[in-house]
Amino acid sequence: MKLIRSLQFLTLKPMITVINVGEDIATAQQEHAALAAELSARGDTVVFLSAAIEQELAELDSSERQAFMDELGISEPASHRLSRSAFECLGLISFFTCGPDEVRAWPIPAGSSAPQAAGKIHSDLERGFIRAETISYDALIAAGSEKAAKEAKLHKLNGKDYIVKDGDVIEIRFNV
């Protein structure tokens, strides 16, 4: 592998196989379970979706879209499953930074430390890293606001050895 890695063969790249099925995705997953298992065994990430359903969902407004998805037993649009699968396939996670006028998601390799995540934002943040104040996305949403989360003391101060989790909302403390 070390000798041929520099040749950039497509067969060595992570693969996502998307299987377009009819409206009954659960039945199609059962029917194509052997194919999905074979593809997974060779290292592919397999995603089942129905392009016809996704086209119909795109044409509906948000309230009708959720009712249609509930009727079909779909918990989320295929675009969400596909993008999550792409991140997993590439070994990436996301963390968030928030400011008064902007919220931004930053993709980083899974297993990255807080200083490495800070370096993704700007090299000075990694160089002068002191601590990362973190809260999970779910905890922040459950609190209702950043102010309520701070009052409930849901934020944690983490040092240089902290491994960033997918969905962390981070404020970097640094000194350069």
Instruction: Please report which confidence band the pLDDT of residue 122 belongs to, taking 50, 70 and 90 as the band edges.
Output: very high
Strands (E), 9-155: 16-20, 45-49, 92-98, 103-109, 129-136
Let me know whether 81 and 138 are in one domain.
no
Given 89, 106, 130, the domain boundary residue is: 89
Q: What pLDDT does 8 receive?
A: 82
Could you list the residue range(s) of the whole structural domain that residue 38 is in? Answer: 5-89
Among residues 89, 121, 143, the one where a domain terminates is 89
Say if residue 114 is in the same domain as residue 162.
yes
Angle, CA of 111, 132 and 94, to the nearest 5°: 45
Q: Which residues of 126-137 are buried (b: 16+ CB within 10 A; e: fewer)?
A: beebebbebbbb
54 and 112 inside one domain? no
Neighbouring C-beta atoms of residue 165, cutoff 10 Å: 13
Residue 171 has pLDDT above 80, yes or no: yes
More confident residue, 135 or 24: 135
Highest mean pLDDT among 41-45, 56-60, 68-72, 136-140: 136-140
DSSP-assigned beta bridge partners for residue 95: 106
> Is the pLDDT score of 11 beyond 80?
no
User: Does 45 share its domain with 9?
Assistant: yes
pLDDT at 12 over 90: no
Residues 6+ apart with CB under 8 A from 87: 93, 94, 107
Q: Which pLDDT does position 19 carry in this prediction? A: 93
Residues 29 and 83 in one domain: yes
Residues 110 and 132 in one domain: yes
pTM for this structure?
0.76
Q: How confident is the model at residue 94 (pLDDT cuts 50, 70, 90)?
A: very high
* pLDDT bucket at 72, cuts 50 / 70 / 90: confident
The CATH number of whichever domain residue 151 belongs to comes to 3.10.20.30
Which of 35, 59, 89 is the C-terminal boundary of a domain?
A: 89
Same domain, 79 and 101: no
63 and 132 in one domain? no
35 and 66 assigned to the same domain: yes
